[in-house]
Structure formats: C-alpha cells, structure tokens
Amino acid sequence: MKRRVEALTIVLAICLITIFVRCQSNETPIQQLVVALNGDSIEMVFVKGGTFMMGCTDEQGCDCEDNEKPARKESVSDFYIGKYEVTQRLWRAVMDTDSILPFNGGCEDCPMENVSWKNA
C-alpha cells in the first residue's frame, strides 16, 4: 500500500513539473517549489540527479530475483518531487475523478490509497 502511495506521489510530481517547471542546467535550481492547482498547493523539493547501480549487486549474494540481474548503471536527471504524500483531496483535484475508492475514504487530508500503476 505504501509503495502505491509513493509511486503516485512520484508520478504526479513528474507530471506536474513537466508542465509547470523547466530546469535549465545553467541556472541554480529552486530548492523548494510550491505549485498551485485548483485551489490546492503541492510543496515540492529539488532532487539532484545522479548515477547509481540498479539491480542485484555482488554484495547481495544469492538473495536476488532473476529479473534483478544483471546490475547496471542508471542515470537520473534532476527533478522535483512532492514533499508530502498525495492526499485524497489533491488526487481528486489532479485526476478529476472519484472512481477509485480509498480504504480510508472520507478523510480528505489522508494519503490517497488503493491506486494501481495503471490508474496513476
């Protein structure tokens, strides 16, 4: 459940930033950003991109799944991400739908839940 909320936060943050903010490599990035949307606001923080090893590395020994091999170098560009989890209120403001019913429904300030990757 927590992974779904985290995934939703990441997907929404990337979509919103793609629309509202363009990072220029020669400019100093804004460390914290607030995006207004339909009367709600999203606090976002800057994350410096970099390179990392993705997948199962030798340190993990035999504690790996086949789809985690081979380990490979991946790079991520600079991006902004939501500082807090996506609330049910914000989900409805962005997605304009009530078709997904969270387990903890009726709590506008609670994190949105019960969202699949497809829905996000």
Tell me whether residue 114 is in a domain.
Answer: no
Which residue range forms the structural domain that includes residue 29?
Answer: 2-95
Contacts 24+ apart (CB under 8 A), 92-100: 93/37, 93/38, 93/39, 93/40, 94/12, 94/16, 94/37, 94/38
Report pLDDT for 74.
95
In a domain, 101, yes or no: no
- Provide the pLDDT for residue 26: 54
Domain-embedded: residue 113: no
In a domain, 120, yes or no: no
Domain-embedded: residue 10 = yes
Is 112 within the bounds of a domain? no
Per-residue pLDDT of the chain (120 residues; tens, 9 = 90+): 555 555 455 555 555 554 444 444 456 777 888 887 767 788 889 999 999 999 998 888 888 898 898 999 999 999 999 898 888 888 887 887 767 777 777 788 888 888 888 877
What pLDDT sits at residue 63?
A: 86
60 domain-assigned: yes
